[in-house]
Chains A and B, each alone.
Chain A
Amino acid sequence: MDTTSCDPRYYELLEQLQTLDFALVELNLYLDTHPADLRSIQQFNQLTQERTRLAKQFQELYGPLQNFGRAYSKCPWEWSQSPWPWQV
């Protein structure tokens, strides 16, 4: 077990992110079949903004969420560090 997987704040922030991202998945699928629903597009865009902010905060604390140039890294290379999602 490493330090991250014992940190209650990690789970708290992770769940906040999962909550926002889930609403975005739901709205995304809905908009795939309802492309002219302006109100839902506005909600999607607003949640995207919140998500971007939260993901930035999460990544500063716990390392990159995405690879291939979608997030910055400290030294040593953070991407390949544990924990992986199925381990926590």
Chain B
Amino acid sequence: MWIYEKKLQYPVRVGKCDVRMAKYLIEQYGGADGELAAALRYMNQRYSIPDKIIGLLTDISTEELAHLEMIATMVYKLTKDATVEQLKEAGLGAHYANHDSALYYENAGGVPWTAAYIQAKGDPIADLYEDIAAEEKARATYQWLINMTDDVDLMDSLKFLREREVVHSQRFREAVEILKEDREYKRVF
């Protein structure tokens, strides 16, 4: 069961009416290494991972949903008052034709999210290495997004999200170490 909490994990301020940035930010909403992909990847892998790692996957997955809400907040704030002209200029004309200013799980190029972005191999090491890679890819995406904006408020929230990828990567690396060291249970025939 999940309980929603009516607050953002971190304050999101957008200081500039830069509609084009909304188009780029959608990469972290419905892109291959975005927050939706991250949340669903970990939440699904947890059913077939050793018990010691289930808590971590559950908690990081849940935190990713909070990050998804932060990205949604940025896109919402940037597009809610945009005119059709502004959306067209920002490269969001095609988005408008299909969705008006509704958010949609797609990447910056408009490609819809797909489960093919995520893997569950059932091998704990393979899955955790995928998770580490996912965090590093998301960190890189945040770097490119930070490079593309000059809005210091937006940059502040993006830096927070980038740092969370660093911490999550650290925890997944520790999870690998836990599995390497775990000699507690000997196979009994």
Contact = CB atoms under 8 A, between A and B. Distances in A.
A and B touch in the complex (CB under 8 A): yes
Interface of A: 11, 14-15, 17-18, 21-22, 25-26, 28-30, 32-34, 63-68, 70, 79, 84-86
B183 interface: no
Nearest to A26: B167
A29 B7 contact: no
Contact of A18 (B9, B59, B72): B9
Contacts of A25: 9, 59, 63
Contacts, number: 64
Contacts of A18: 7-11
A85 B7 contact: yes
Nearest to B66: A25
Contact of A65 (B5, B77, B178): B5
Interface of B: 3-12, 55-56, 59-60, 63, 69, 72-73, 76-77, 167-168, 171, 174-175, 178
A31 B10 CA distance: 21
A79 B5 CA distance: 11
A85 B69 contact: yes
B59 A28 contact: yes
Contact of A86 (B8, B10, B56, B63): B8
A66 B73 contact: no
B7 A17 contact: yes
A21 B9 contact: yes
Given A67-B6, A85-B73, 9 more contacts: A26-B167, A29-B56, A32-B55, A32-B59, A64-B6, A84-B6, A85-B6, A86-B12, A86-B73
A29 B73 contact: no
A86 B3 contact: no
Given A32-B59, A86-B73, A67 B4 contact: yes
A33 B4 contact: no
Q: Among A30, A32, A64, A79, find the residue whose CB has the most chain B CB atoms closer than 10 A.
A: A32
A60 B6 CA distance: 14
A34 B174 CA distance: 9
B62 to A, nearest CB: 9
